[in-house]
Amino acid sequence: MTLVDRFLTTWRRFLRRSPAPPRLGPEEGQRLFTARYRSFRELLTANANTLEAMAELEKALRDGRTLSMTFIRARCTLVTINVYKIVHNLNKIADGRYSELERIFARLQQEIETLLVGNLGRTEGELVLDLERIGRGQADLTGEKMANLGEADTIEGVRIPPGFALTAVATRLFFQRNQLYSQINHLIQQMDIGNLEDLHRKSAAIQELIRACPLPPELESLLFTHFDRLAAARPGCKVAVRSSGLGEDLGQASFAGLYHTELDVDRDTLVAAYKAVLASKYTPRAISYRLAKGFRHEETEMCVGVLVMIEATVSGVCYTRSIGNRGETLDLFCAPGAAQGIVDGTRSTGHLLLERTAPHRIVGRLEARDAMATWLTDAQATMLAETAMRLEHHFGAPQDIEWSIDPAGTLYLLQSRPITANALRPPATDQSSPEDERILLHGDVTGCDGAACGPVFVVRTAADMLRFPKRAVLVVRHPLPEWAPLLKRAAALVAETGSEAGHLATLSREFGLPSLLALPRATEVLTNGDTVTVDADNRAVYRGRIDELLRAPAPRPNPMDGSPVQQVLVSVLKLISPLNLTDPAAPDFHASRCRTLHDITRFCHEKAVVEMFDFGERYRFDQAAARRLQDTLPLEWWVIDLGEGFRPDYDARRREVAIADIACTPMQALWAGMHAVAWAGPPAAGLRTMVSFLFQSALRDSLDPSRTSALREKNYFLISQKYCNLSMRLGYHYAMIEAMLGDRPGDRFITFRFKGGAAGEDQRLRRIDLLTEVLEHFGYRIDRVGDALTARVERESEQLVVDRLKVLGYLTIHTRQLDLVLAETGAQRFFRDRFIQEIGDMLNHE
């Protein structure tokens, strides 16, 4: 603090204090004080709720669970509303002297809201665009798929089907005109995402909602104009209506086969097909995929492509770099007719390996050998490889390509997108598969490598999906994208048909789920409930558990890492959770220095406690003023009587009060616990801890025990005859004890709330662990989120509540600064045993 600052502070203080405090009559004073006390209680409740919701958000980020925007939005809303209440109530208590906080809060609230709402993209622009006018620059308007297709059209030698795209602006117009966003959000917020049945029900409701709404007339008219233009050049032509979602551009997320494609659509069915594709954004598989991968529904707006149907003699998929990155080859999958059967995994396919470099020699034919020669000539295969490599070169990364060849032999590109990163992971080092009679099935195609063990569960219908147990081996006939919601729950996937090019195989690689495909009769040979080991590396399924195969499972990728939803959480937490104002005695402990909601919470709590006890100074109102409580411990206690808390013979003119003057039964019980066993002062730390502690103290004087433990810290009791509220400094936050000892069971309770501490996170958590263990041992019910702890006792007998209060009294004294020594090995157990022993003795002794 500079000299000027000091001068200003003193001067301001002088100005503030210069007018004589208003004198209040006893009744007016009591009324004013009661009103403040109510605000104080509301502030304390809001404070506890804020810290709890904050801890939940921090924990969600730390433990890598599936994050949904619904969860983040709900918790952020709770935190914000409670901080609003805190600021509001502090200003009520302090006669509006902290109005500066309202401005800081409003700014933070605005910033949080902006992050949560996100970039909803363009609401202005063209509704429909011809493919030839689309390039990669329009990806935020047409979705990645159509943008890539339009872009590919500019590459020499690449042909795409004629068509057009309905943009994100069109989708938004349709949704907004029909008020679909709010109705859908409403259903999604109330969805129980762990419950597949609920997921199916709400998904059906949302899709029905979309299909039932009319298209805005201007959009419908444009749709028909563009269709008629296509049909004019090709009378009687039919179109494929395909999804092209926004945000599908991350290499980590393929969105493979999650959305709907409607084939053979004519003019009559065009509008229905368009709406069906829009609605497919909300199929159970799409909702659960976005959730598992951390995508926001709002930012994955659906755009739609309308492409003239190609009469295909042969179609397929090409990976410009072989799955598993096996050498310098590319994969070519093909089957007669349209491409749909390959990506659905329902058809048997041919598989060629070609060299990536010209002249693209064929180096392997892996399946359906006999038929393949008649489907695709070697010349066509080479032409495909050439085109594919041109696409890879243009887009700058290995591509996953869908194609068709028409009866005239013309090659059409239907889709080109980057291969998901996991697919290019090198295969696991070969393990020799035990050759024994335990092999139930020996397979064909590895979708994703790895090995896993679990009970078999065959899924044939949607009803089977609802019964699918966690960590079971998912066995299906065809690897259809419909089964995608089960991939997060399953231990492994086995399918009778399919290839690496199928959508479900692609998804299994994204989730790191071992998968085996093209294992005929798998649904007959494998029996529900039997434990099997799926060894995808060696393409075998074994009876029972084979430990040597499971020994080193590859860690599954955390699909949340780097996801848009995780990024939102990280960004909002920066505005919510860091605590910068830690030391109330520091000169920068000031409203203007609050940079996060945690700062505001901490600041307001401190000031509210102080304001409550300054009441007697600000108003000349002797009866309600705080009394200093005499104590042998080096702690400073202040007491305010809310009514009948002092004995009738207490002389109200005194500034001090002795414990014998206190009539409040819960306070007496707490006090007895605090003084039953002598406190040895700050615990003696081992040399290592002490050195680090002294070093930290030198940096941060708030850690200096001579300052934090002694007279500088005030602790406050608010009491009546049967009620006691203690705000006690313990680390960075007040510990809060509220207790009531009434005559009826419902009027007997204890609540203890505490968060954080002064030491590093590890030690802080250890102190919370220690408190939890001891409090649980003595019958407290514990709610704990991260380093926020709430302990409760309710509706117990009077004697029991008194005893529990003594336990709490003991702990508040004896765990002070304990976090500083809990780093020592065995310290936690040592203190736990000692505390339980001493508390037990204390209770028995009486």
The answer to whether residue 431 forms part of the interface with another protein (CB under 8 A) is: no
- Interface with another protein in residues 30-49 (CB under 8 A): 38, 41
The answer to whether residue 96 forms part of the interface with another protein (CB under 8 A) is: no
The span from the CA of 542 to the CA of 538, in Å, is 11
Burial class (CB in 10 A: 0-12, 13-18, 19+), 333: buried
Piece of the chain touching another protein by CB under 8 A; list 79-87, 214-222, 278-286, 411-419: 79-87
The answer to whether residue 653 forms part of the interface with another protein (CB under 8 A) is: no
663, amino acid identity = A
Tell me how far, at minimum, the Cβ of 88 lies from another protein, in Å: 8
Pairing assessment for the beta strands 473-476 and 492-495 based on DSSP bridges? parallel
Of 32, 74, 250, 362, which lies in the binding site for another protein, with binding defined by CB under 8 A?
A: 74
Piece of the chain touching another protein by CB under 8 A; list 70-78, 349-357, 493-501, 540-548: 70-78
- Interface with another protein in residues 695-754 (CB under 8 A): 720-723, 740, 742, 744, 746-747, 749
Nearer to another protein, 79 or 507 (CB): 79
Tell me how far, at minimum, the Cβ of 109 lies from another protein, in Å: 6
* DSSP-based three-state secondary structure for 80: helix
Q: What share of the chain is helix, strand, coil (3-state, %, to 5)?
A: 45, 20, 35
Q: Sign of dihedral through CA atoms 488, 492, 496, 497?
A: positive
Tell me how far, at minimum, the Cβ of 775 lies from another protein, in Å: 21
Contacting residues for 75 by C-beta, under 8 A, at least 6 apart: 53, 56, 57, 60
Tell me how far, at minimum, the Cβ of 603 lies from another protein, in Å: 19
The tally of CA atoms less than 13 A away on the side-chain side of residue 404 is 22
Tell me how far, at minimum, the Cβ of 674 lies from another protein, in Å: 23
Tell me how far, at minimum, the Cβ of 576 lies from another protein, in Å: 11
Piece of the chain touching another protein by CB under 8 A; list 111-119, 278-286, 300-308, 586-594: 111-119
Nearer to another protein, 761 or 794 (CB): 794
Tell me how far, at minimum, the Cβ of 801 lies from another protein, in Å: 12
Opening angle at CA 91, ends 709 and 101, nearest 5: 80
The span from the CA of 571 to the CA of 569, in Å, is 5
Q: Are 306 and 239 in contact (CB under 8 A)?
A: yes
The answer to whether residue 544 forms part of the interface with another protein (CB under 8 A) is: no
Tell me how far, at minimum, the Cβ of 663 lies from another protein, in Å: 12
The answer to whether residue 836 forms part of the interface with another protein (CB under 8 A) is: no
Residues in contact with another protein, shown as a per-residue x/- string from 621 to 650 under the rule CB under 8 A: ---------------------xxx------
The answer to whether residue 693 forms part of the interface with another protein (CB under 8 A) is: no
Count other C-beta atoms under 10 Å from residue 122's C-beta.
13
Tell me how far, at minimum, the Cβ of 26 lies from another protein, in Å: 15
Residues in contact with another protein, shown as a per-residue x/- string from 151 to 170 under the rule CB under 8 A: --------------------
DSSP for 133-155, please give it.
G--GGGHHHH-HHHHHHHHHTTS
The answer to whether residue 218 forms part of the interface with another protein (CB under 8 A) is: no
The answer to whether residue 596 forms part of the interface with another protein (CB under 8 A) is: no
Pairing assessment for the beta strands 492-495 and 515-517 based on DSSP bridges? parallel
Tell me how far, at minimum, the Cβ of 644 lies from another protein, in Å: 8
- Angle between the N-to-C axes of helices 597-618 and 564-576, in degrees from 0 to 180, rounded to the nearest 10: 20
Tell me how far, at minimum, the Cβ of 182 lies from another protein, in Å: 6
Contacting residues for 12 by C-beta, under 8 A, at least 6 apart: none
Tell me how far, at minimum, the Cβ of 112 lies from another protein, in Å: 6
Of 119, 154, 182, 195, which lies in the binding site for another protein, with binding defined by CB under 8 A?
A: 182
> Does the bond joining 434 to the residue before it have cis omega, within 30 degrees of 0?
no
Count other C-beta atoms under 10 Å from residue 211's C-beta.
12
What residue has token string 């306070």? Answer: 667
Of 85, 347, 489, 729, which lies in the binding site for another protein, with binding defined by CB under 8 A?
A: 85
* Ramachandran bin of 756, using left for φ above 0, alpha for ψ from -120 to 50, beta for the remaining angles: left
Of 32, 61, 81, 424, which lies in the binding site for another protein, with binding defined by CB under 8 A?
A: 81
The answer to whether residue 113 forms part of the interface with another protein (CB under 8 A) is: yes
* Nearest C-alpha neighbor of 294 from the set 554, 511, 54: 511
The answer to whether residue 348 forms part of the interface with another protein (CB under 8 A) is: no
Nearer to another protein, 46 or 223 (CB): 46
The answer to whether residue 330 forms part of the interface with another protein (CB under 8 A) is: no
Q: Are 83 and 106 in contact (CB under 8 A)?
A: no
User: What kind and span of H or E run contains 421?
Assistant: none
| Furthest-apart CA atoms within the chain: distance in Å | 109
Piece of the chain touching another protein by CB under 8 A; list 81-89, 91-99, 579-587, 822-830: 81-89
Piece of the chain touching another protein by CB under 8 A; list 109-117, 256-264, 399-407, 551-559: 109-117
Of 33, 40, 84, 255, which lies in the binding site for another protein, with binding defined by CB under 8 A?
A: 84
Residues in contact with another protein, shown as a per-residue x/- string from 116 to 135 under the rule CB under 8 A: xx------------------
Piece of the chain touching another protein by CB under 8 A; list 55-63, 68-76, 420-428, 811-819: 68-76
Please work out the total of residues on this chain that contact another protein, with binding judged by CB under 8 A: 38
Give the phi and the psi of residue 804 in degrees, each rounded to 5: -65, -35
The answer to whether residue 73 forms part of the interface with another protein (CB under 8 A) is: yes
Contacting residues for 316 by C-beta, under 8 A, at least 6 apart: 332, 333, 334, 335, 339, 342, 349, 350, 376, 384, 402, 403, 501
The tally of CA atoms less than 13 A away on the side-chain side of residue 146 is 33
Nearer to another protein, 36 or 539 (CB): 36
Q: Are 816 and 730 in contact (CB under 8 A)?
A: yes
As given in the structure block, the two tokens for residue 334 are: 């093909």
Tell me how far, at minimum, the Cβ of 617 lies from another protein, in Å: 23
Nearer to another protein, 137 or 643 (CB): 643
Of 32, 59, 100, 109, which lies in the binding site for another protein, with binding defined by CB under 8 A?
A: 109
The answer to whether residue 178 forms part of the interface with another protein (CB under 8 A) is: no
* Nearest C-alpha neighbor of 285 from the set 482, 437, 464: 482
Task: Encode 702-744 in three state secondary structure.
Answer: HHCHHHHCCCCCEEEEEEECCEEEEEEEECCEEEEEEEEECCC
Count other C-beta atoms under 10 Å from residue 256's C-beta.
23
Nearer to another protein, 85 or 539 (CB): 85
The answer to whether residue 296 forms part of the interface with another protein (CB under 8 A) is: no
Tell me how far, at minimum, the Cβ of 643 lies from another protein, in Å: 5
Where on the chain is the footprint of another protein (CB under 8 A)? 38, 41, 70, 73-74, 76-78, 80-81, 84-85, 88, 109, 112-113, 116-117, 182, 185-187, 189-190, 192, 642-644, 720-723, 740, 742, 744, 746-747, 749
